[in-house]
Amino acid sequence: MQAPQFDTPLQLMRWIGWAQRKAADEWVRERELTHEQSFVLGYLQQNPGAIQRDIAAMTRTSAASVSSLLQGLEKRGLVERRSDADNARTKLVFATPTGIDLIAGFEDAMTALDDTLLAPLSPDERTMLRDLLRKVTAELPEPTR
């Protein structure tokens, strides 16, 4: 089987995206998390007290899948569910300090990866690449999850 060719600009951009995803997956795996678990922990860090329905909508998955994911995180002490003071049937989900500590440093790791991936470029070339990519993306709709 022949390796795929990466000749066009968009094919090359996908290759860079693949390298970013691989590095992110490795960082997450080192913490014995799945990509989904780490994403939910990050979401809960930014949105403490989210309800499961919001998490399901954000992850584009079912409520049952979110419940299972949260159970696994809860068993590890990474999240906790608390009853809403106004509605006891509603459970609010919070990342614990242990959960937040576990994912701390992800953004720094990804910034360091950017520097590694762009190391062959001079500062002027990095600026030129950024400007060209901004020109292309200016015509695109904002990405959504």
Q: Are 90 and 51 in contact (CB under 8 A)?
A: yes
The predicted model scores a pTM of 0.78
State residue 145's pLDDT score: 62
Q: What pLDDT band is residue 5 in, cutting at 50, 70 and 90?
A: confident
DSSP state of 16: H
Each residue's pLDDT tens digit, 100-115: 999 999 999 999 999 9
Work out the angle at residue 52's Cα, subtended by the Cα atoms of residues 46 and 56, and round it to the nearest 5 degrees. 85
Q: Rounded CA gap, 18 and 97, in Å?
A: 31
